[in-house]
Structure 1
Amino acid sequence: MNIFSRFFSRDKPKNATAGAAYQFFFGGTSAGQNVNERTAMQMTAVYACVRVLAEAVAGLPLHVYRYGKDGGRERATEHPLYFLLHDEPNPEMTSFIFRETLMTHLLLWGNAYAQIIRSGRNDVVALYPLMPNRMRVDRDERGHLFYEYTVIGDEAKTMKGATVRLSAADVLHIPGLGYDGIVGYSPIAMARNAIGMGLACESYGAAFFANGAAPGGVLEHPGTLKDPSKVRASWEAVYGGTHHAHRIAVLEEGMKYTPIGIAPNEAQFLETRKFQIDEIARIFRVPPHMVGDLEKSTFSNIEQQSLEFVKYTLAPWLSRWEQAMARALLLPEEKKTCFIKFNVEGLLRGDYQSRMNGYAVARQNGWMSANDIRALENLDRIPAEEGGDLYLINGNMTKLKDAGLFAGKEQDSDEEVLDVEPDGGAGGNAGADARAARCHRGGQLAR
């Protein structure tokens, strides 16, 4: 009775560490559809949103960096984590597949887990994904977190035993939005009525076309039928199904067909389906044009929407990944000198003309060299002896404190000329020579 009392309770779900997975009691929704993390993927809008976010996170370059002495940063390619995160987290997966899998778990279950395999020196040597619906998070008698994972027959045997208890140091846990900051809630669970309505619309549409794209109705007979089921079966065999749609019906013995269903346009079927696509995109904060809805997208705003996707949708997820990996994978002494970072510069790149204009400004103002620009465009480097690493600036630019310096020197020269003796002696000849030299230097300005 405890389960049923919790199921029918109107209290909001409590986010306790004793259970990472949101429990779908019988999976029912207000729309009458069975919704869980797996069935939700049957809705095209959910599948598209999950795929867009998972592939975006998986496709970004992921590097381990080390702080430089001059305040800069450099890639720590010799670090043991670099190869694991950038290339192969384990011998069975590439980095793309590993991150795509964990991001899918994070979007559907609200939590992503991976087992950390360490060497005798405490270095991370492998990362293996764990199914969120098989994980239980709890605290021991001393208040320390532990992870209890159940292994079933259809999963890879990465661990021995039916149930394995893992310490917090052995699990990479990336939680989604939650109430206690430890365990995240499933977005599918929180929005299961909206997703259920979308599934109901798809089921209604499929049934509508399966019944010949005609609403249900009543066959009226003026007399009494001895076997109505036989007449119904005969009618469905001849006129039911999409392959029998629009056939001419022949009624005998004074029978009459009266439709009683509501037409799809009267029930706003298409409008409801479209609204549910926007609703699902709103749950995952994905621009509608990225899941195929181009109604409100134009050539002038679609690029801006793509940039907003990176800043407001993708960036928070990347921060969760970066901070969770740094917390679980870096040793305490390494956290002061190393960090893990996704490179999103490729997603923030504009069109070709915008990039070239930006490079021109950077080149002319001296904070990018030719090789810096060529590296961003995936071009070969220009040898240093040919000037590829030179930083150049415009020659007509000067420091603010030097503004008017030339005019001050000109004024000093004029004062020296005024001191020349007026009688045209030796001093007069020197003054004439100085004026001639000044005219030669100043050109039109001196004259």
Structure 2
Amino acid sequence: MQLWPFRAERKSTTTGREALVDYAVRTSSDIAVSPERALRCPAVFAGVRVRCEVLGTLPIVLYKRRNDDGKERAADHPLYRLLHDRPNGWTSAAQFVMELEHDAIMHGAGYALANRNGERIVELIRLHPHAVTEEIDRATLEPAYRVTAAGGQRTYSWRDILHVPTIVGTSMPLPSTALPSANAAKRLASPSQ
């Protein structure tokens, strides 16, 4: 007796480009689930949305330590305006936080370029996670980031990239990110066969 009125059917509708961009992790049921495909599951979408939107509502405030071990807002800090108000001309602080958190959940890390005028950071620009490759210098163990854009590739120092990993202190590849949890949620939401 089949309790679920639908049956599973596999169709391939991806083009070559989508197959490269829409990389996936295979589940125990042998169904490939990419971050984009996982978001089609209502439970995954709702979880990611709630987490991102809640973080987006929280203000980012910089503090400076006082001599009496207290703290006070550092509204005069050069990065205060970028993090609290608007990281660049087209993105609000809330949207910036939501996008970086979404990238961290779905792709393992979120990245932003610290665009400078001389030594001063004038804007933070979100980078798509697929466009960034982290490389560790074997001699210094410092990370560097190779960014691929329409104009080619460029390598940036860790000083120029804001890196938001899924788990603090680690840079984990896709299978170790939140996606396996998304795969489990999708399996729970799918019909048992």
* TM-score category, normalised to shorter length: 0.7 to 0.9
- Displacement after TM superposition at 1:118 (Å): 2.0
**Displacement, 1:133?**
2.2
- What's the offset of the Cα at 1:139? 2.4
Structure 2: unaligned runs, 5 residues or longer: 1-22
Structure 1 residue 196 displacement after superposition: 4.4
Tell me how far apart the structure 2 counterparts of residues 177 and 78 of structure 1 sit (CA, whole Å): 30
CA distance in 2, matches of 1:193, 1:81: 38
**1:172 maps to which residue?**
162
Counterpart among 74, 90, 93 of residue 88 in structure 2? 90
Shift of 1:123: 2.3
Secondary structure at the aligned position of 1:117 is classed as: strand
1:397-437 CA-to-partner distances (Å, cap 9, x unmatched) read: xxxxxxxxxxxxxxxxxxxxxxxxxxxxxxxxxxxxxxxxx
Change (3 A) 1:106 1:45: same
For 2:72, which of 54, 71, 74 is the aligned residue?
Answer: 74
Q: 1:33 aligns with which of 17, 31, 34?
A: 31
Higher strand share: 2
Give aligned pairs, total. Answer: 167
- SS of the aligned residue for 2:187 comes to helix
Describe the superposition over 1:370-391 as per-residue Cα deviations: whole angstroms up to 9, x where unpaired: xxxxxxxxxxxxxxxxxxxxxx
Larger helix fraction of residues: 1
Q: Aligned Cα RMSD in Å?
A: 2.3
CA distance in 2, matches of 1:197, 1:124: 44
Larger Rg: 1
Structure 1 letter corresponding to 2:178: P
- Find the counterpart in structure 2 of residue 105 from structure 1: 103
| Paired AA for residue 125 in structure 1 | V
Which among 175, 184, 189 is matched to residue 194 of structure 1? 184
Q: Does structure 2 conserve the Cα–Cα contact (< 8 Å) formed by 1:145 and 1:167?
A: yes
2:134 corresponds in structure 1 to 137
Asked if the contact 2:38–2:183 (Cα under 8 Å) also holds between the matched residues in 1, the reply is no
**Which residue of structure 2 lines up, in the alignment, with residue 123 of structure 1?**
120
Matched letter for residue 160 of structure 2: D
1:193 Cα deviation (Å)? 4.4
The 1-side partners of 2:143 and 2:57 are apart by 32
What are the ranges of 5 or more consecutive residues in structure 1 without an aligned counterpart? 1-22, 153-160, 202-266, 270-447
Question: Which whole-Å CA distance do the structure 1 matches of 2:182 and 2:45 have between them?
Answer: 14
Aligned-pair distance for 1:194? 1.5
Question: What SS does the aligned partner of 1:46 have?
Answer: helix
Conservation of the 8 A alpha-carbon contact between 2:44 and 2:186:
no
Kept in 1, the 8 Å contact 2:134–2:144? The answer is yes
Q: Distance between the aligned counterparts of 1:182 and 1:148, measured in 2?
A: 18
| Alignment counterpart, residue 163 of structure 1, candidates 153, 158, 169 | 153
TM-score (norm 1): 0.35
Taking the aligned partners of 1:37 and 1:134, their CA distance within structure 2 comes to: 15
